[in-house]
């Protein structure tokens, strides 16, 4: 577990074979969808692919523009519905600080992630938030509050941008 963190660090912030990274995530998503009886339709899959082109978050209208150029519907609901579906089922995360969406790169689409947002290069990484979730649940529980959904977003500098002095990537 602790060792897993060392062996599989978040790819977002380090050079890696991203074609492979992307294919793996996409394959896992397909599998997950099939197993869960979720309909990963062409638009939905295409939106996921678009988000997987890099580790940045994209706004709904940015996604929409891409879809429109590729011949899909050009109206907001097209993008929002696909993104909502993907987010509901954990294929993507909504980054509330950015009003944008990022593809989930973790193996499990279950518990809420800790999102790491680089303010310089815009890349978004994610860390397992299981331990944090438990702790937050406990703090809330001590106040009689039952947590149903949790969002944890950290804004800061990724390793590469920190090395640059925070000026940007």
Partner DNA sequence: GTAGTAATGTTATATTATAACTTGTAATAT
Partner DNA sequence: ATATTACAAGTTATAATATAACATTACTAC
Contact residues for its own copies, defined by CB under 8 A: 5, 9-10, 13, 96-97, 114, 116, 118-119, 125, 127, 131-132, 135-136, 139-140, 142-159, 162
Q: Which one of Zn ion, DNA, its own copies, none is in contact with 121 (Cβ closer than 5 to 8 A by kind)?
A: Zn ion
Closer to its own copies by Cβ: residue 50 or 118: 118
**Distant-in-sequence, close-in-space partners of 39: CB < 8 Å, separation ≥ 6:** 33
- The secondary structure element, H or E, covering residue 46 is helix 42-51
Q: Does 154 bind DNA (CB under 7 A)?
A: no
Task: Say which DSSP state 144 is in.
Answer: T
CA dist 60 → 10, 66, 76, 94, 101 (Å): 24, 10, 8, 10, 7
Q: Does 73 bind DNA (CB under 7 A)?
A: yes
CB 12 within 8 A of CB 125: yes
Q: Does 99 bind DNA (CB under 7 A)?
A: yes
CB 132 within 8 A of CB 92: no
- What residues make contact with Zn ion under the rule CB under 5 A? 11, 18, 21, 118, 120-121, 158, 161, 169
- What residues make contact with DNA under the rule CB under 7 A? 39, 41-44, 59-61, 72-78, 80-82, 84-85, 99-100
């Amino acid at each position: 577990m602790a060792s897993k963190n060392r062996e599989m660090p978040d790819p977002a912030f380090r050079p890696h074979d991203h074609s492979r990274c992307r294919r793996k995530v996409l394959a896992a998503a397909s599998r997950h969808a099939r197993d869960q009886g979720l309909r990963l339709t062409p638009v939905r899959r295409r939106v996921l692919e678009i988000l997987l082109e890099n580790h940045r978050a994209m706004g709904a209208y940015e996604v929409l523009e891409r879809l429109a150029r590729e011949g899909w519907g050009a109206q907001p609901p097209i993008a929002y519905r696909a993104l909502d579906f993907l987010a509901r089922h954990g294929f993507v995360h909504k980054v509330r600080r950015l009003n944008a969406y990022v593809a989930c790169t973790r193996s499990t689409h279950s518990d809420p992630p800790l999102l790491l947002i680089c303010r310089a290069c815009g890349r978004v990484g994610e860390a397992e938030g299981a331990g944090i979730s438990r702790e937050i649940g406990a703090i809330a529980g001590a106040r009689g509050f039952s947590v149903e959904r949790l969002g944890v977003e950290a804004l800061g500098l990724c390793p590469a941008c920190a090395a640059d002095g925070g000026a940007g990537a």
